[in-house]
Amino acid sequence: MSALRAAGASRPGMVQSLRAAVSRRSFHNVGAMRMAAAKSFHKDEPAAPILKTSVPGPKAAEAVKELDQVFETRSINMMADYTQSVGNYIADPDGNMLLDVYAQIASIPVGYNNPELRKVAQTPEMVDAIINRPALGNFPSHTWANILKTGILKVAPKGLDNVYTAMAGSDANEIAYKAAFMYKRQTERGGPDVDFTPQEIESAMNNQAPGSAQLSILSFKTSFHGRLFGCLSTTRSKPIHKLDIPAFDWPQATFPQLKYPLDQHAEENAKAEQASLDEVEHLIKTWHLPPAAVVIEPIQSEGGDNHASPAFFQKLRALTRKHNVLLIVDEVQTGVGATGKFWAHEHWNLQDPPDMVTFSKKAQTAGYYYRSKELRPNKPYRQFNTWMGDPSKALLFRGIIGEIERLDLVNHTAKVGNYLYGKLEGLASKYPEHFQNLRGKGQGTFIAFDHPKRDEFLVKAKTFGINIGGSGANAVRLRPMLTFQEHHADILIEALEKIVKAL
Protein backbone atom coordinates (compact mmCIF):
# COMPACT_ATOMS: atom_id res chain seq x y z
CA MET A 1 0.00 0.00 0.00
CA SER A 2 2.84 2.40 0.78
CA ALA A 3 4.30 2.10 -2.75
CA LEU A 4 0.92 2.92 -4.23
CA ARG A 5 0.61 5.88 -1.91
CA ALA A 6 4.00 7.24 -2.86
CA ALA A 7 3.17 6.85 -6.55
CA GLY A 8 -0.18 8.53 -6.05
CA ALA A 9 1.40 11.44 -4.29
CA SER A 10 3.99 12.07 -6.97
CA ARG A 11 1.94 11.36 -10.08
CA PRO A 12 -1.53 12.90 -9.89
CA GLY A 13 -2.47 11.55 -13.32
CA MET A 14 -2.34 8.09 -11.88
CA VAL A 15 -4.89 8.73 -9.21
CA GLN A 16 -7.91 7.40 -11.04
CA SER A 17 -6.31 4.13 -11.99
CA LEU A 18 -4.78 3.82 -8.57
CA ARG A 19 -8.21 4.26 -7.07
CA ALA A 20 -9.41 1.27 -9.03
CA ALA A 21 -6.28 -0.66 -8.13
CA VAL A 22 -6.60 0.08 -4.47
CA SER A 23 -10.22 -0.83 -4.28
CA ARG A 24 -9.50 -3.98 -6.28
CA ARG A 25 -6.82 -4.83 -3.79
CA SER A 26 -9.07 -4.13 -0.90
CA PHE A 27 -12.50 -5.57 -0.55
CA HIS A 28 -15.04 -4.57 -3.15
CA ASN A 29 -16.54 -6.26 -6.17
CA VAL A 30 -14.91 -4.31 -8.97
CA GLY A 31 -17.15 -5.48 -11.79
CA ALA A 32 -20.29 -4.35 -10.04
CA MET A 33 -18.60 -1.12 -9.00
CA ARG A 34 -17.67 -0.21 -12.58
CA MET A 35 -21.23 -0.71 -13.73
CA ALA A 36 -22.50 1.29 -10.80
CA ALA A 37 -20.14 4.20 -11.35
CA ALA A 38 -21.37 4.50 -14.91
CA LYS A 39 -24.87 5.31 -13.74
CA SER A 40 -23.89 7.56 -10.84
CA PHE A 41 -25.32 11.05 -10.56
CA HIS A 42 -21.72 12.11 -9.95
CA LYS A 43 -19.64 11.05 -12.91
CA ASP A 44 -16.31 11.61 -11.16
CA GLU A 45 -17.09 9.50 -8.13
CA PRO A 46 -14.75 6.60 -7.49
CA ALA A 47 -16.26 3.18 -8.01
CA ALA A 48 -15.70 2.34 -4.36
CA PRO A 49 -14.02 3.68 -1.23
CA ILE A 50 -10.27 4.10 -1.48
CA LEU A 51 -8.02 3.46 1.48
CA LYS A 52 -4.40 4.42 1.08
CA THR A 53 -3.57 4.81 4.76
CA SER A 54 -5.32 4.33 8.04
CA VAL A 55 -7.74 7.13 8.85
CA PRO A 56 -6.36 9.45 10.09
CA GLY A 57 -3.22 9.03 8.02
CA PRO A 58 0.01 10.91 8.64
CA LYS A 59 -0.98 14.06 6.73
CA ALA A 60 -4.32 14.27 8.51
CA ALA A 61 -2.62 13.81 11.87
CA GLU A 62 -0.21 16.61 11.02
CA ALA A 63 -3.08 18.90 10.03
CA VAL A 64 -4.92 18.19 13.30
CA LYS A 65 -1.80 19.00 15.26
CA GLU A 66 -1.39 22.31 13.45
CA LEU A 67 -5.06 23.22 13.92
CA ASP A 68 -5.00 22.35 17.60
CA GLN A 69 -2.72 25.31 18.28
CA VAL A 70 -5.57 27.71 17.59
CA PHE A 71 -8.88 25.85 17.31
CA GLU A 72 -10.93 23.14 18.98
CA THR A 73 -9.85 19.74 17.63
CA ARG A 74 -10.99 17.22 20.24
CA SER A 75 -14.27 16.65 18.45
CA ILE A 76 -12.63 16.03 15.07
CA ASN A 77 -14.05 12.94 13.43
CA MET A 78 -11.98 13.16 10.28
CA MET A 79 -9.75 15.81 8.74
CA ALA A 80 -11.10 16.32 5.23
CA ASP A 81 -9.80 17.48 1.88
CA TYR A 82 -12.81 19.01 0.14
CA THR A 83 -10.94 19.79 -3.04
CA GLN A 84 -10.69 16.03 -3.66
CA SER A 85 -14.10 15.05 -2.30
CA VAL A 86 -16.70 14.21 -4.90
CA GLY A 87 -20.37 13.28 -4.77
CA ASN A 88 -20.96 10.81 -1.96
CA TYR A 89 -17.24 10.45 -1.23
CA ILE A 90 -15.33 12.48 1.31
CA ALA A 91 -11.56 12.68 0.77
CA ASP A 92 -8.83 13.29 3.31
CA PRO A 93 -5.34 14.76 2.92
CA ASP A 94 -3.82 11.27 2.75
CA GLY A 95 -5.73 10.37 -0.38
CA ASN A 96 -8.36 8.22 1.32
CA MET A 97 -11.89 8.47 -0.03
CA LEU A 98 -14.73 7.28 2.18
CA LEU A 99 -18.33 6.71 1.24
CA ASP A 100 -19.94 9.42 3.34
CA VAL A 101 -23.32 8.51 4.81
CA TYR A 102 -22.99 11.14 7.56
CA ALA A 103 -22.62 14.10 5.18
CA GLN A 104 -21.52 16.85 7.58
CA ILE A 105 -24.09 15.87 10.19
CA ALA A 106 -26.82 15.52 7.55
CA SER A 107 -26.14 18.89 5.96
CA ILE A 108 -24.76 18.12 2.49
CA PRO A 109 -27.72 17.62 0.14
CA VAL A 110 -26.45 17.00 -3.38
CA GLY A 111 -22.88 15.79 -3.12
CA TYR A 112 -19.46 17.29 -2.68
CA ASN A 113 -18.27 19.51 -5.49
CA ASN A 114 -21.60 19.32 -7.24
CA PRO A 115 -21.02 20.91 -10.67
CA GLU A 116 -24.41 22.66 -10.73
CA LEU A 117 -23.78 24.24 -7.33
CA ARG A 118 -20.34 25.23 -8.56
CA LYS A 119 -22.07 27.16 -11.34
CA VAL A 120 -24.42 28.79 -8.83
CA ALA A 121 -21.44 29.78 -6.65
CA GLN A 122 -19.89 31.54 -9.63
CA THR A 123 -22.89 33.55 -10.77
CA PRO A 124 -22.68 37.34 -10.60
CA GLU A 125 -25.71 37.23 -8.30
CA MET A 126 -23.79 35.07 -5.80
CA VAL A 127 -20.69 37.24 -5.97
CA ASP A 128 -22.88 40.29 -5.40
CA ALA A 129 -24.53 38.63 -2.40
CA ILE A 130 -21.18 37.71 -0.87
CA ILE A 131 -19.47 41.08 -1.16
CA ASN A 132 -22.52 43.28 -0.48
CA ARG A 133 -24.13 41.54 2.43
CA PRO A 134 -27.26 43.44 3.43
CA ALA A 135 -28.94 44.01 6.76
CA LEU A 136 -32.07 42.32 5.40
CA GLY A 137 -34.54 43.90 7.79
CA ASN A 138 -33.39 47.44 7.01
CA PHE A 139 -31.90 47.39 3.53
CA PRO A 140 -33.07 44.37 1.55
CA SER A 141 -32.17 44.14 -2.09
CA HIS A 142 -34.91 44.81 -4.63
CA THR A 143 -34.28 41.22 -5.79
CA TRP A 144 -34.87 39.66 -2.35
CA ALA A 145 -38.57 38.91 -2.91
CA ASN A 146 -37.70 37.13 -6.13
CA ILE A 147 -34.87 35.16 -4.51
CA LEU A 148 -37.28 34.02 -1.81
CA LYS A 149 -40.10 33.15 -4.18
CA THR A 150 -37.90 31.19 -6.57
CA GLY A 151 -36.02 29.47 -3.75
CA ILE A 152 -36.90 29.16 -0.08
CA LEU A 153 -40.61 29.77 -0.63
CA LYS A 154 -40.88 27.58 -3.70
CA VAL A 155 -40.57 24.61 -1.35
CA ALA A 156 -42.55 26.11 1.54
CA PRO A 157 -44.57 23.52 3.45
CA LYS A 158 -48.24 23.47 2.54
CA GLY A 159 -50.13 26.23 4.33
CA LEU A 160 -47.04 28.21 5.33
CA ASP A 161 -46.30 30.93 2.84
CA ASN A 162 -44.26 33.40 4.88
CA VAL A 163 -40.71 33.15 6.12
CA TYR A 164 -38.25 34.75 8.50
CA THR A 165 -34.73 33.85 7.46
CA ALA A 166 -31.88 33.07 9.85
CA MET A 167 -28.35 31.75 9.93
CA ALA A 168 -28.52 28.21 11.30
CA GLY A 169 -30.92 25.78 12.91
CA SER A 170 -30.35 27.05 16.43
CA ASP A 171 -31.23 30.65 15.79
CA ALA A 172 -34.06 29.58 13.48
CA ASN A 173 -35.60 27.76 16.44
CA GLU A 174 -34.95 30.65 18.80
CA ILE A 175 -36.63 33.23 16.60
CA ALA A 176 -39.56 30.87 16.14
CA TYR A 177 -39.79 30.65 19.94
CA LYS A 178 -39.66 34.43 20.17
CA ALA A 179 -42.51 34.68 17.68
CA ALA A 180 -44.49 32.24 19.80
CA PHE A 181 -43.93 34.23 22.99
CA MET A 182 -44.89 37.49 21.34
CA TYR A 183 -48.00 35.92 19.83
CA LYS A 184 -49.08 34.36 23.09
CA ARG A 185 -48.63 37.55 25.07
CA GLN A 186 -50.41 39.53 22.39
CA THR A 187 -53.35 37.17 22.64
CA GLU A 188 -53.39 37.44 26.42
CA ARG A 189 -53.16 41.22 26.11
CA GLY A 190 -56.23 41.35 23.89
CA GLY A 191 -54.85 41.55 20.36
CA PRO A 192 -52.25 43.26 18.21
CA ASP A 193 -53.59 46.75 18.80
CA VAL A 194 -53.31 46.71 22.58
CA ASP A 195 -50.18 48.54 23.66
CA PHE A 196 -47.62 47.48 26.24
CA THR A 197 -48.22 48.89 29.71
CA PRO A 198 -45.64 51.15 31.37
CA GLN A 199 -45.09 48.36 33.90
CA GLU A 200 -44.33 45.90 31.13
CA ILE A 201 -41.91 48.30 29.49
CA GLU A 202 -40.10 49.04 32.72
CA SER A 203 -39.92 45.48 34.01
CA ALA A 204 -38.73 44.09 30.66
CA MET A 205 -35.61 46.21 31.01
CA ASN A 206 -34.96 44.50 34.36
CA ASN A 207 -35.59 41.00 32.98
CA GLN A 208 -38.64 40.76 35.24
CA ALA A 209 -42.37 40.06 34.89
CA PRO A 210 -44.66 41.25 33.54
CA GLY A 211 -42.46 42.56 30.70
CA SER A 212 -40.39 39.39 30.55
CA ALA A 213 -42.94 36.73 29.76
CA GLN A 214 -43.49 34.05 32.37
CA LEU A 215 -44.07 31.48 29.65
CA SER A 216 -42.30 28.42 28.31
CA ILE A 217 -41.71 26.23 25.29
CA LEU A 218 -42.70 22.61 25.78
CA SER A 219 -40.33 20.10 24.25
CA PHE A 220 -39.83 16.35 24.45
CA LYS A 221 -37.34 14.19 26.26
CA THR A 222 -34.44 13.12 24.03
CA SER A 223 -35.16 16.01 21.66
CA PHE A 224 -32.51 18.21 20.09
CA HIS A 225 -33.23 21.79 19.05
CA GLY A 226 -29.84 23.45 19.20
CA ARG A 227 -27.42 24.81 21.75
CA LEU A 228 -28.03 28.51 22.20
CA PHE A 229 -29.51 29.41 25.59
CA GLY A 230 -33.17 29.36 24.58
CA CYS A 231 -33.14 26.36 22.30
CA LEU A 232 -30.79 24.52 24.66
CA SER A 233 -33.50 24.81 27.31
CA THR A 234 -35.67 22.72 24.96
CA THR A 235 -32.89 20.31 24.00
CA ARG A 236 -32.95 17.17 26.11
CA SER A 237 -30.73 14.73 24.27
CA LYS A 238 -27.43 14.56 26.16
CA PRO A 239 -26.00 15.98 29.40
CA ILE A 240 -22.78 17.06 27.68
CA HIS A 241 -24.87 19.61 25.75
CA LYS A 242 -26.42 21.10 28.86
CA LEU A 243 -24.08 20.79 31.83
CA ASP A 244 -23.11 24.09 33.47
CA ILE A 245 -25.28 26.19 31.15
CA PRO A 246 -28.10 28.16 32.83
CA ALA A 247 -31.50 27.00 31.64
CA PHE A 248 -35.10 28.12 31.73
CA ASP A 249 -37.46 26.04 33.84
CA TRP A 250 -39.43 24.78 30.87
CA PRO A 251 -41.45 21.54 30.71
CA GLN A 252 -40.59 18.35 28.89
CA ALA A 253 -42.97 15.56 27.92
CA THR A 254 -41.98 11.99 27.29
CA PHE A 255 -41.50 11.26 23.62
CA PRO A 256 -43.31 8.04 22.77
CA GLN A 257 -40.84 5.23 23.31
CA LEU A 258 -41.90 2.94 20.51
CA LYS A 259 -40.92 -0.62 19.82
CA TYR A 260 -39.59 -1.59 16.43
CA PRO A 261 -40.55 -2.78 13.93
CA LEU A 262 -43.52 -0.49 14.38
CA ASP A 263 -46.04 -2.71 12.61
CA GLN A 264 -45.38 -5.57 15.01
CA HIS A 265 -46.05 -3.47 18.10
CA ALA A 266 -48.98 -1.39 16.97
CA GLU A 267 -51.09 -1.72 20.08
CA GLU A 268 -48.50 -1.01 22.75
CA ASN A 269 -47.02 1.77 20.63
CA ALA A 270 -50.43 3.42 20.35
CA LYS A 271 -50.64 3.29 24.15
CA ALA A 272 -47.22 4.88 24.51
CA GLU A 273 -48.24 7.62 22.14
CA GLN A 274 -51.47 8.29 24.00
CA ALA A 275 -49.59 8.43 27.29
CA SER A 276 -47.26 11.00 25.76
CA LEU A 277 -50.19 13.07 24.50
CA ASP A 278 -51.82 12.92 27.92
CA GLU A 279 -48.60 14.13 29.47
CA VAL A 280 -48.41 16.99 26.97
CA GLU A 281 -51.95 18.05 27.83
CA HIS A 282 -51.27 17.80 31.53
CA LEU A 283 -48.16 19.97 31.21
CA ILE A 284 -49.96 22.53 29.07
CA LYS A 285 -52.67 22.81 31.69
CA THR A 286 -50.51 22.81 34.79
CA TRP A 287 -46.94 23.96 34.18
CA HIS A 288 -46.17 27.05 36.24
CA LEU A 289 -44.81 28.80 33.16
CA PRO A 290 -47.53 28.09 30.59
CA PRO A 291 -46.24 26.90 27.19
CA ALA A 292 -46.55 29.37 24.32
CA ALA A 293 -45.61 26.59 21.92
CA VAL A 294 -44.79 22.93 21.62
CA VAL A 295 -41.68 22.16 19.57
CA ILE A 296 -41.11 18.74 18.09
CA GLU A 297 -38.96 16.97 15.52
CA PRO A 298 -40.73 14.67 13.07
CA ILE A 299 -38.04 12.11 13.86
CA GLN A 300 -35.88 12.82 16.90
CA SER A 301 -32.50 12.82 15.25
CA GLU A 302 -29.58 13.73 17.50
CA GLY A 303 -31.54 12.11 20.33
CA GLY A 304 -31.39 8.64 18.78
CA ASP A 305 -33.67 8.44 15.73
CA ASN A 306 -36.91 8.10 17.62
CA HIS A 307 -40.08 7.81 15.56
CA ALA A 308 -43.76 8.33 16.22
CA SER A 309 -46.78 7.66 14.06
CA PRO A 310 -48.69 10.13 11.89
CA ALA A 311 -51.64 9.59 14.24
CA PHE A 312 -49.54 10.85 17.14
CA PHE A 313 -48.62 14.03 15.32
CA GLN A 314 -52.18 14.57 14.12
CA LYS A 315 -53.40 14.34 17.69
CA LEU A 316 -50.64 16.62 18.89
CA ARG A 317 -51.74 19.20 16.33
CA ALA A 318 -55.31 18.92 17.55
CA LEU A 319 -54.21 19.18 21.17
CA THR A 320 -52.15 22.31 20.62
CA ARG A 321 -55.00 23.83 18.64
CA LYS A 322 -57.43 23.03 21.43
CA HIS A 323 -55.30 24.80 24.02
CA ASN A 324 -54.21 27.75 21.86
CA VAL A 325 -50.61 26.68 21.99
CA LEU A 326 -48.57 27.03 18.81
CA LEU A 327 -47.02 23.99 17.16
CA ILE A 328 -43.46 24.41 15.90
CA VAL A 329 -42.11 21.56 13.82
CA ASP A 330 -38.32 21.46 13.87
CA GLU A 331 -37.29 20.14 10.45
CA VAL A 332 -33.68 21.24 10.74
CA GLN A 333 -32.42 17.70 10.31
CA THR A 334 -35.44 15.94 8.78
CA GLY A 335 -36.19 18.51 6.10
CA VAL A 336 -35.13 18.76 2.46
CA GLY A 337 -35.86 15.34 1.12
CA ALA A 338 -34.05 12.74 3.18
CA THR A 339 -37.24 11.08 4.45
CA GLY A 340 -38.62 10.63 0.94
CA LYS A 341 -40.80 13.73 1.29
CA PHE A 342 -39.45 17.24 0.98
CA TRP A 343 -40.59 17.90 4.55
CA ALA A 344 -40.88 14.95 6.90
CA HIS A 345 -44.12 16.27 8.36
CA GLU A 346 -45.77 15.68 4.97
CA HIS A 347 -45.89 12.04 6.07
CA TRP A 348 -48.54 13.04 8.63
CA ASN A 349 -51.18 14.31 6.20
CA LEU A 350 -52.17 17.12 8.54
CA GLN A 351 -55.33 18.95 7.60
CA ASP A 352 -54.36 21.80 9.90
CA PRO A 353 -50.72 22.65 9.19
CA PRO A 354 -48.17 23.44 11.90
CA ASP A 355 -47.92 27.11 12.87
CA MET A 356 -44.21 27.26 12.16
CA VAL A 357 -41.66 24.96 10.55
CA THR A 358 -37.95 25.58 11.12
CA PHE A 359 -35.28 24.54 8.65
CA SER A 360 -31.53 24.58 8.07
CA LYS A 361 -28.75 21.98 7.44
CA LYS A 362 -29.34 20.67 3.89
CA ALA A 363 -30.96 24.01 3.04
CA GLN A 364 -27.59 25.63 3.89
CA THR A 365 -29.62 28.67 4.91
CA ALA A 366 -32.12 28.70 7.79
CA GLY A 367 -35.28 30.20 9.15
CA TYR A 368 -38.86 29.45 9.92
CA TYR A 369 -41.87 29.24 7.67
CA TYR A 370 -45.06 30.48 9.28
CA ARG A 371 -48.73 30.30 8.72
CA SER A 372 -49.75 33.85 7.98
CA LYS A 373 -49.03 37.48 8.67
CA GLU A 374 -51.01 37.01 11.87
CA LEU A 375 -47.87 35.42 13.32
CA ARG A 376 -45.69 38.41 12.53
CA PRO A 377 -45.08 40.36 15.74
CA ASN A 378 -47.37 43.35 15.99
CA LYS A 379 -44.62 45.96 15.66
CA PRO A 380 -41.48 46.31 13.61
CA TYR A 381 -38.10 45.64 15.22
CA ARG A 382 -39.51 42.97 17.52
CA GLN A 383 -38.23 40.19 15.26
CA PHE A 384 -35.04 41.77 14.05
CA ASN A 385 -31.26 41.53 14.01
CA THR A 386 -28.49 42.92 11.83
CA TRP A 387 -28.33 40.33 9.08
CA MET A 388 -31.55 38.32 9.51
CA GLY A 389 -30.19 35.59 7.28
CA ASP A 390 -27.89 35.67 4.29
CA PRO A 391 -28.87 36.07 0.63
CA SER A 392 -25.80 34.14 -0.51
CA LYS A 393 -27.07 31.08 1.33
CA ALA A 394 -30.59 31.64 0.01
CA LEU A 395 -29.14 31.57 -3.50
CA LEU A 396 -27.30 28.37 -2.66
CA PHE A 397 -30.51 26.76 -1.43
CA ARG A 398 -32.20 27.80 -4.67
CA GLY A 399 -29.45 25.98 -6.54
CA ILE A 400 -29.95 22.93 -4.31
CA ILE A 401 -33.68 22.99 -5.01
CA GLY A 402 -32.84 23.14 -8.71
CA GLU A 403 -30.73 19.99 -8.41
CA ILE A 404 -33.40 18.24 -6.38
CA GLU A 405 -35.97 19.02 -9.07
CA ARG A 406 -33.71 18.22 -12.01
CA LEU A 407 -32.84 14.78 -10.65
CA ASP A 408 -36.18 14.18 -8.90
CA LEU A 409 -34.17 13.51 -5.77
CA VAL A 410 -37.01 13.36 -3.27
CA ASN A 411 -38.75 10.52 -5.08
CA HIS A 412 -35.36 9.01 -5.80
CA THR A 413 -34.52 9.05 -2.09
CA ALA A 414 -37.85 7.46 -1.22
CA LYS A 415 -37.03 4.58 -3.59
CA VAL A 416 -33.39 4.17 -2.62
CA GLY A 417 -34.46 4.29 1.00
CA ASN A 418 -36.83 1.40 0.44
CA TYR A 419 -34.09 -0.54 -1.32
CA LEU A 420 -31.61 0.16 1.47
CA TYR A 421 -34.12 -0.64 4.19
CA GLY A 422 -34.85 -4.00 2.55
CA LYS A 423 -31.16 -4.86 2.49
CA LEU A 424 -30.79 -3.79 6.12
CA GLU A 425 -33.71 -6.01 7.08
CA GLY A 426 -31.75 -8.83 5.52
CA LEU A 427 -28.70 -8.00 7.63
CA ALA A 428 -30.87 -7.61 10.73
CA SER A 429 -32.31 -11.07 10.34
CA LYS A 430 -28.84 -12.50 9.72
CA TYR A 431 -27.17 -10.54 12.55
CA PRO A 432 -29.95 -9.60 14.95
CA GLU A 433 -27.51 -8.70 17.73
CA HIS A 434 -25.75 -6.19 15.47
CA PHE A 435 -28.72 -4.49 13.85
CA GLN A 436 -31.18 -3.89 16.67
CA ASN A 437 -34.34 -1.82 16.42
CA LEU A 438 -33.95 -1.13 12.74
CA ARG A 439 -36.14 1.89 12.01
CA GLY A 440 -37.07 4.37 9.32
CA LYS A 441 -39.11 2.12 7.04
CA GLY A 442 -40.79 4.22 4.39
CA GLN A 443 -38.80 7.25 5.57
CA GLY A 444 -36.37 7.46 2.68
CA THR A 445 -32.78 7.01 3.74
CA PHE A 446 -33.48 8.42 7.20
CA ILE A 447 -32.70 5.06 8.75
CA ALA A 448 -31.05 3.96 11.98
CA PHE A 449 -30.39 0.90 14.08
CA ASP A 450 -28.93 0.30 17.51
CA HIS A 451 -25.65 -1.41 18.14
CA PRO A 452 -24.43 -2.48 21.58
CA LYS A 453 -20.90 -1.28 20.76
CA ARG A 454 -21.93 1.73 18.76
CA ASP A 455 -18.82 3.88 19.24
CA GLU A 456 -16.54 1.00 18.23
CA PHE A 457 -18.80 0.39 15.24
CA LEU A 458 -18.34 3.95 14.03
CA VAL A 459 -14.57 3.80 14.35
CA LYS A 460 -14.37 0.42 12.70
CA ALA A 461 -16.48 1.66 9.77
CA LYS A 462 -13.64 3.91 8.61
CA THR A 463 -11.37 0.91 8.17
CA PHE A 464 -13.87 -0.36 5.61
CA GLY A 465 -14.11 2.96 3.84
CA ILE A 466 -17.35 4.22 5.36
CA ASN A 467 -17.91 7.52 7.16
CA ILE A 468 -20.97 7.04 9.33
CA GLY A 469 -22.43 8.80 12.37
CA GLY A 470 -24.23 7.98 15.57
CA SER A 471 -27.17 9.45 17.43
CA GLY A 472 -28.50 9.05 20.94
CA ALA A 473 -26.80 6.51 23.20
CA ASN A 474 -26.63 3.48 20.91
CA ALA A 475 -27.88 4.36 17.45
CA VAL A 476 -26.01 4.26 14.17
CA ARG A 477 -27.74 6.83 12.02
CA LEU A 478 -27.66 6.82 8.25
CA ARG A 479 -27.71 10.33 6.78
CA PRO A 480 -26.60 9.92 3.20
CA MET A 481 -27.02 12.69 0.68
CA LEU A 482 -29.98 12.83 -1.67
CA THR A 483 -27.73 11.61 -4.49
CA PHE A 484 -27.11 8.34 -2.65
CA GLN A 485 -28.00 5.54 -5.06
CA GLU A 486 -28.55 1.80 -5.06
CA HIS A 487 -24.96 1.07 -5.94
CA HIS A 488 -23.88 3.13 -2.94
CA ALA A 489 -26.34 1.15 -0.86
CA ASP A 490 -24.71 -2.06 -2.08
CA ILE A 491 -21.27 -0.80 -1.05
CA LEU A 492 -22.64 0.28 2.32
CA ILE A 493 -24.39 -3.03 2.97
CA GLU A 494 -21.29 -4.99 2.04
CA ALA A 495 -19.20 -2.85 4.36
CA LEU A 496 -21.70 -3.05 7.23
CA GLU A 497 -21.49 -6.80 7.14
CA LYS A 498 -17.70 -6.65 7.25
CA ILE A 499 -17.83 -4.17 10.13
CA VAL A 500 -20.00 -6.34 12.33
CA LYS A 501 -17.96 -9.41 11.50
CA ALA A 502 -14.87 -7.53 12.59
CA LEU A 503 -16.35 -6.32 15.87
- Residues of this chain, 99-128, that bind its own copies according to CB under 8 A: 104-105, 107-108, 112-114, 117-118, 120-122, 126-128
274 belongs to the binding site for its own copies (CB under 8 A):
no
Amino acid identity, residue 120? V
Would you call 386 exposed, middle or buried from its count of C-beta atoms within 10 A (0-12, 13-18, 19+)? exposed
- Write down the least CB distance from residue 480 to its own copies, Å: 15
* Touching its own copies, residues 36-65 (CB under 8 A): 59-60, 63
Q: Is residue 361 flagged as an active site residue? A: yes
Tell which one of 26, 29, 54, 77 touches its own copies (CB under 8 A): 77
Cα(445)–Cα(418) distance, integer angstroms: 8
Q: Do the beta carbons of residue 51 and residue 502 sit within 8 Å?
A: no
Q: Do the beta carbons of residue 174 and residue 387 sit within 8 Å?
A: no
Cβ proximity to its own copies: between 404 and 500 the closer is 404
Cβ proximity to its own copies: between 136 and 495 the closer is 136
Q: Is 501 helix (H, G, I), strand (E, B) or coil?
A: helix
Selected catalytic residue, list 83, 123, 187, 386: 386
Cβ proximity to its own copies: between 33 and 363 the closer is 363
CB-based contacts of 242, cutoff 8 Å, min separation 6: 232, 235, 236
Q: Is residue 224 flagged as an active site residue? A: yes
- Write down the least CB distance from residue 308 to its own copies, Å: 20
Tell which one of 93, 157, 256, 354 touches its own copies (CB under 8 A): 93
β partners of residue 50: 97
Cβ proximity to its own copies: between 229 and 430 the closer is 229
Cα(360)–Cα(394) distance, integer angstroms: 11
Selected catalytic residue, list 41, 181, 220, 224: 224
Cβ proximity to its own copies: between 153 and 275 the closer is 153
β partners of residue 300: 306
Q: Do the beta carbons of residue 259 and residue 265 sit within 8 Å?
A: yes
β partners of residue 328: 295, 356
* Touching its own copies, residues 173-202 (CB under 8 A): 174, 177-178, 181-182, 184-186, 196, 200-201
Of 127, 125, 120, 78, nearest in space to 99 by CA: 78
Selected catalytic residue, list 330, 390, 450, 490: 330
Q: Which residues of 181-201 are buried (b: 16+ CB within 10 A; e: fewer)?
A: bbbbbbeebeeeeeeeeeebe
* Number of residues in contact with its own copies under rule CB under 8 A: 126
141 belongs to the binding site for its own copies (CB under 8 A):
yes
* Touching its own copies, residues 154-173 (CB under 8 A): 161-165, 167-171
379 belongs to the binding site for its own copies (CB under 8 A):
yes
DSSP H helices in 323-453: 391-406, 409-430
Tell which one of 81, 346, 425, 486 touches its own copies (CB under 8 A): 81
* Touching its own copies, residues 226-255 (CB under 8 A): 226-231, 233, 236, 239-250, 252
Q: Is residue 52 flagged as an active site residue? A: no
Tell which one of 27, 287, 384, 431 touches its own copies (CB under 8 A): 384
Interaction pattern, residues 454-493, with its own copies; x per rule: CB under 8 A: ----------------------------------------
Would you call 31 exposed, middle or buried from its count of C-beta atoms within 10 A (0-12, 13-18, 19+)? exposed
- Write down the least CB distance from residue 329 to its own copies, Å: 19
407 belongs to the binding site for its own copies (CB under 8 A):
no
Q: Do the beta carbons of residue 293 and residue 175 sit within 8 Å?
A: no
* Touching its own copies, residues 281-340 (CB under 8 A): 289
Cβ proximity to its own copies: between 296 and 363 the closer is 363
Four-point Cα dihedral 62, 28, 89, 297, nearest 10: -110
Measured in degrees and rounded to the nearest 5, phi and psi for residue 283 equal -65, -40
- Write down the least CB distance from residue 115 to its own copies, Å: 9
Of 408, 418, 415, 428, nearest in space to 496 by CA: 428
* Touching its own copies, residues 336-365 (CB under 8 A): 361, 364
Cβ proximity to its own copies: between 71 and 433 the closer is 71
383 belongs to the binding site for its own copies (CB under 8 A):
yes
Q: Is residue 362 flagged as an active site residue? A: no
Of 101, 333, 479, 420, nearest in space to 343 by CA: 333
265 belongs to the binding site for its own copies (CB under 8 A):
no
Cβ proximity to its own copies: between 54 and 162 the closer is 162
137-145 contact pairs (CB < 8 A, 24+)? 137/381, 137/384, 137/385, 137/388, 141/391, 144/391
Tell which one of 85, 300, 334, 485 touches its own copies (CB under 8 A): 85
Q: Catalytic site residues?
A: 224, 330, 361, 386
